[in-house]
Amino acid sequence: MTERSPLAPSAFPDLPPIPGVTVRVACARYKNWDRCDLTYVELAEGTAVAGVTTQSKCPSPEVEWCRDAIPLGSARALVVNAGNANAFTGHRGRAAVEAIAARVANHLACNPSDIFISSTGVIGVPLPIDKAEAGLESAFAAPACGWEDAALTIGTTDTYPKGAHVSAMVSGRRVELVGIVKGSGMIAPDMATMLGYVFTNAAVEPALLQQMLSAANRQTFSCITVDSDTSTSDTVLAFATGKAGNVPLASMDDAGADAFQAALTDLCRQLAHLVVRDGEGASKFIEITVEGAESDASAHRIALSIANSPLVKTAIAGEDANWGRVVMAVGKAGEPADRDRLSIRFGATQVATGGLAVEGYDEAPVAAHLKGQDIRIGVDLGLGNGRATVWTCDLTHGYISINADYRS
């Protein structure tokens, strides 16, 4: 991993084991590096699965495989390859996915459709089947490891491992949820924007787990952006082993369903923020809240227009409260807006209102706010009750440096 992001947490959190989940890592050497790059997660029989995947029209065969398998609702294993996205690789890429699924299914004596696969890294290079199969054999024999090892192994340009933990009470039982995620660039909210995996010991029926994950995704992973670019490989999967002993959740009307939904959303939000805080070259974490829009959807699109603007992002990198660039981003979003009702704030300071700069506003607190690492921009359109919050990072020369050298 490269130099740690200045926005990174001080340490990887202490994440508990999840009954029914066993994690192992191995070195398949997908790239010329001396690190583990294959993660193998074995799941207990009866594990439910749900997932959301990229909306890219050029998805990897791993994404297509998961799309076909998710509706079946059951999972026995997860395999994540790092260093090779296996996307835009034609029939050879599909053959690699089928070979991995077959090898793991044979090892576990289960159906290939119970095996979930992700790959991340360089696009356009077929995943070498011989390395994948050798890596799997090493993983099968490897000792079980902790979540930090798994989080490190799934990373590519990430500068730190990312994980989070929450718990909830469901029908009198404490259930645990653990998540790991990778992502640093090619991050845009066209579903999930990276690879993320949630594991819980709760008993949740697959259809409800899917409903809950989709709802959590809309408020979290689909509200982050680093560079507006949607990956070919974006996947978020949730696995519920049922080992907590709670009465299985089958409907949002069931006791404890609301608590589990809140916990899942909280976990996904934490993971989503960790991705933004590791944005390639990032030095500032930016929260953008748009209110007063005609609808929540409209507010969301306007917030993303601001978050994805290179001019806004470079202004924040330069600690310049250039609210004119925010006006520009609102105006180009293609959503209902009225220049003469528009208000803008940086931090707690109103800098523009009613279509005009606030006369004589004190720039000192704005300058102080922009020197910090956590930046807040607020926009009020004055049109309705629509509201949305998205999260992004600034744009520095570090982003160029990282991506100019990516394939080498």
Alpha-carbon distance 391 to 285, whole Å? 7
Q: Is this structure's pTM higher than 0.85? A: yes
Going from N- to C-terminal start, the domains of the chain cover: 21-277, 285-404
- Residue 120, annotated ligand binder? no
**Res 230: pLDDT:** 57
The first and second tokens of residue 79, run together, are: 């395999």
Q: How confident is the model at residue 228 (pLDDT cuts 50, 70, 90)?
A: low
> Catalytic one among 193, 232, 392, 396?
193
Work out the mean pLDDT of the chain and round it to a whole number: 92
Q: How confident is the model at residue 3 (pLDDT cuts 50, 70, 90)?
A: confident
Alpha-carbon distance 385 to 397, whole Å? 38
225 annotated active-site:
no
Least confident range of 176-185, 328-337, 396-405: 396-405
Q: Is it true that 21-277 and 285-404 share their CATH fold? A: no
- Residue 294, annotated ligand binder? no
Q: Which CATH superfamily is domain 285-404 in?
A: ArgJ beta chain, C-terminal domain (3.10.20.340)
- Residue 156, annotated ligand binder? yes
**Res 271: pLDDT:** 96
- Residue 47, annotated ligand binder? no
**Residue 407 above 70 pLDDT?**
no
CATH no. of 21-277: 3.60.70.12
Region for residue 235 given its phi and psi (left: phi exceeds 0; alpha: psi -120 to 50; beta: otherwise):
beta
380 vs 90, 189, 294, 311, 327, CA distance in Å? Answer: 47, 22, 11, 20, 11
